[in-house]
Structure 1
Amino acid sequence: MTRFRWLGWVLVTPGLAGAVALLDPRWFGLSTTPIFLHLIAFRALLGAVLLGAALIAALTLLLPPRRPASRPWIRRVTTAVLAVTGLSQFGVVVSRGWAGGDDPGTAALVVIEFNTYDVHTTAAQIAGLVRGQGATVVALPETMRATAQATADLLAAGGRHFQVFSTTADSPWPIADTSLLISDELGRYRQLPATGELVGIVRAVPIDGAGPTLVAVHPPAPGRVIGFDQWAVHARNAANQCIASVGAVVAGDFNATVDHAPLTDLGRCADAASSVGRGAEGTWPSDYPAGFTAPIDHVLFDTGRYRSLRTRTERVGGSDHRALIAWLGAS
């Protein structure tokens, strides 16, 4: 093997190893590592890029060899690895699903989770979504209390009454507000102090102790400002709001997918969309087809009390997130 062929292997091997590691970064301990954590959030798009690269590599095999006796092993292996990993990414997407069937069971809760992107969505648009879906629980990351209250007022004018709970985290960002609307049909609730989230968390429990604990969460996005380690800690703390509470329902913009370590082990809880074969239906960014976006918005529920009947996503207003609607039945 010539010196140049060795150099070729040295150049392509790290890239091919990375493509293989992206099949299951958790197994390699890379799901919270920069670049890897961002890429696996967009599995369908990643698969398309890998297959495109495989096609380009395959086309190079049609080029005439520089020497009659040369064998393009590097290009052959590169083509094969890129093709297999690209198809495997789509295999994961298909296994998660984006158009799962509906369970005809009766919903005990209809939960809407919608990051409204602050002023980019109006109270009238939120109220229309809630009214149209018959929601009983509405988690609203990046939503000011004034907007949440205006939404409740519009719904009350139509005969549906909601309690409004909000909090503003100690943060310099205007999108730190998180709100939670709970229908009076579920009884009266009170808000409990909730700490540990940088951006926003609202936790409410039934006054009579009969209903579910309801939590709206919004941990920070992974980035250098918060730090990738702290992102993982906050995302796990958001998941723990469900895991540590019997009968809880937790909804929010988790800024993480089920491929990331913080959402890998949900204990007693489950992800509503994944449970009904729609786990690959993304919610961010909303400008692109849902199959090619990141499923970072979730509704988690205690499987001992509820089961997921069906889920949907819907574009509303000018938000950069799609709204997630989940119908939960008694388990």
Structure 2
Amino acid sequence: MVLSVLFLVLVAVPLYPELFGLDELPPFTQLVAFRPQGLVLVFALALLMLIRKGWRIAAGLVVLLVLTGAGLTLPRLTNDPQPPLSDTRELTIMVANVLGGGANAGAVAELIRQRKPDLVSLPEAQVDVREEIRAQLQGLQYAGYTDQPTSAVESATSVLVSSTLGAVQVKRDLPTEFGHLLVTGGSLGEVRLIAYHGFPPLPDAVPAWKHDLQQLRRWCAADPPTVIAGDFNATLDHSDFRWAMASNCQSVAPEVGRGFVGTWPTDQPPLLRTQIDHVLATRPIVPGSFAAYEVEGTDHLAVVVRIAVPKGS
């Protein structure tokens, strides 16, 4: 029994490092991003252990751990979209990390032409990349803006804003490691849209990653209805990301049963990807739909979501 409990702890540490205060230490910060895959792998291991009589107690404990984890994560797959209320209006938001210009601009533009989003968040898009995409929109009216705080290509974040939103204002408000842009005014009313790119949790850069999530928490906790779209470099299995969202922000994909759609890295099979590209919306904004698309030349899927915003906002 003692050995079985010790084995359970050994398995639990990489799956749930936050229970041991280790989730902010490499390599656990990186491993936990793939927790659903880890649960499947550990469950298969536990089933194999049941073959040996002496291992069955340990296997049973591990199965209980996996089933508990599955119970916490399965709602990301089983949640049903809520029908929008009658006094709401729809917004379509698109996110496409263009990998510093590696993505095929024509493919990004084609997706914009097909889905006609109100706002397009383009992490890693410098001005020239943004304009190359905009030039191929064939008559669609989008204004382009870019924030690039450093010379590093990945620090650039661009946004394309549809003329349907009217005369909006675009600015940067809180400091983040990479660029971000805040869109307000026009027909948005009180709603604000934020194009965002979070710093990645590299082994030597977890403090910078946490710093960006602290800024994210400020946006989620603020009063105006807020939509934040981009590459967050974080998943719902990161406790820091859940803390940043608090009780006021919701990620559209899991709210509509699409929380297991891995958006990165696209050079791996779908089952080996994780969801780091999100659109967050504060309540009472209602998530409507989530779809993901392959784009040639980038290691991220593009995502397009629809949300319902109260008309009075």
What TM-score range do you get, normalising by the shorter chain?
A: 0.7 to 0.9
- 1:40 aligns to what SS in structure 2? helix
Residue identity in the other structure for 2:62: L
Give the partner amino acid of 2:278: H
**What CA deviation, in whole Å up to 9, does each residue of 1:211-240 have, x standing for no partner?**
6322111121112332x2331221231343
Shift of the 104–212 alpha-carbon distance from structure 1 to 2, 3 Å rule, reads: closer
Distance 2:109 2:188 in 1: 28
Question: Which residue of structure 2 lines up, in the alignment, with residue 114 of structure 1?
Answer: 96
Paired position in structure 1 for 2:252: 272
How far the C-alpha of 1:103 sits from its partner, in A, is: 4.3
Tell me which of 248, 260, 277 is aligned to 2:226: 248
Q: Is the 8 A contact 2:130 2:144 kept in 1?
A: yes
Structure 2 vs 1, CA of residues 327 and 190 (structure 1 numbering), >3 Å: closer, same or farther? same
| CA apart distance, 1:262 | 2.9
Q: Secondary structure at the match of 2:26?
A: coil
Q: Which residue number corresponds to residue 135 of structure 1?
A: 117
Q: Residues 38 and 107 (structure 1 numbering): CA distance in 2 closer, same or farther, change over 3 Å?
A: farther
Once the 2 structures are TM-superposed, how far is the Cα of residue 29 of structure 1 from its aligned partner?
4.1
Q: For residue 40 of structure 1, what is the aligned residue in structure 2?
A: 32
Equivalent AA in structure 1 for residue 241 of structure 2: L
Whether 1:55 aligns to 2:47 is yes
CA offset at residue 35 of structure 1? 3.2
Q: Equivalent of 1:125, from 80, 94, 107? A: 107
Contact 1:136–1:182 (Cα < 8 Å) also in 2:
yes
Q: Work out the CA distance in 1 between the residues paired with 2:217 and 2:271.
A: 24
Match of 1:293 among 270, 273, 293: 273
Question: What letter corresponds to residue 123 of structure 1 in structure 2?
Answer: A
Structure 1 alignment gaps of length 5 or more: 62-71
Per the TM alignment, residue 284 of structure 1 is displaced from its structure 2 partner at its CA by: 1.2
Instruction: State the one-letter code of the partner of 2:283.
Output: T
Which of the residues 8, 11, 18 maps onto 1:16?
8
Task: Calculate the TM-score normalised by the size of structure 2.
Answer: 0.85
Which of 144, 147, 166 aligns to 2:146? It is 166
Query: Whole-Å Cα distance in 1 between the matches of residues 241 and 219 of structure 2?
Result: 12
Is 1:80 matched up with 2:60?
yes
Q: SS state of the match for residue 121, structure 2?
A: strand
CA distance in 1, matches of 2:108, 2:178: 21
SS, match of residue 180 in structure 2: strand
Separation in structure 2 between the aligned mates of residue 243 and residue 252 of structure 1, nearest angstrom:
18
- Equivalenced residues, count: 306
Asked if the contact 2:177/2:208 (under 8 Å) is kept, the reply is no
Distance 1:209 1:321 in 2: 28
Change in 2 beyond 3 A, CA 1:287/1:99: farther
Q: Indicate conservation of the 8 Å contact 1:98/1:280, yes or no.
A: no
Query: What is the percent sequence identity of the aligned residues?
Result: 26
Q: For residues 239 and 22 of structure 1, what CA distance do their matches in structure 2 show?
A: 26
What is the CA distance between 1:13 and its match in structure 2? Answer: 5.1
Cα shift at 1:281:
2.0
> Contact 2:91 / 2:306 at 8 angstroms: preserved in 1?
yes
The verdict on how the C-alpha distance between 1:291 and 1:224 changes in structure 2, with shifts beyond 3 A counting, is closer
Residue 327 of structure 1 aligns to which amino acid in structure 2?
A: R
Deviations 1:145-172 (A, max 9, x none): 21111222221x2x3111111011225x
Give distance in 1, aligned partners of 2:35 and 2:164: 39
Distance 2:272 2:218 in 1: 28
Work out whether residues 98 and 281 of structure 1, in 8 Å CA contact, stay in contact via their aligned partners in 2: no
1:258 aligns with 2:240: no
CA contact (8 A) 1:242 1:248 kept: yes
Using the TM superposition, give the Cα deviation of residue 135 of structure 1 relative to its aligned residue in structure 2, in angstroms: 1.0
Aligned to 2:129: 147
Unaligned 5+ runs, structure 2: none
Instruction: Tell which deviates more after alignment, 321-330 or 261-270.
Output: 261-270
Could you tell me how far 1:181 is from its partner in structure 2?
0.8
- Provide the residue aligned with 1:329 in structure 2: 308
In 2: Cα distance, 1:317 partner to 1:257 partner: 23
CA deviation vs aligned residue, 1:269-292 (integer Å, no higher than 9, x gap): 321112222222221112345454
- SS of residue matched to 1:200: coil
Query: What amino acid does structure 2 have at the position aligned with 1:316?
Result: V
The RMSD of aligned alpha carbons is 2.8
The residue aligned with 1:281 is 261
Please tell me whether Structure 1 or Structure 2 has the larger radius of gyration of its CA atoms.
1
Residue 231 in 1 paired to residue 209 in 2?
yes
- In structure 2, the CA distance between the partners of 1:114 and 1:167, relative to structure 1 (3 Å rule), is same
1:106-141 residue CA offsets vs partner (Å, 9 max, x unmatched): 862100112121232122111111111221110011
Q: Is the 8 A contact 2:104 2:295 kept in 1?
A: no
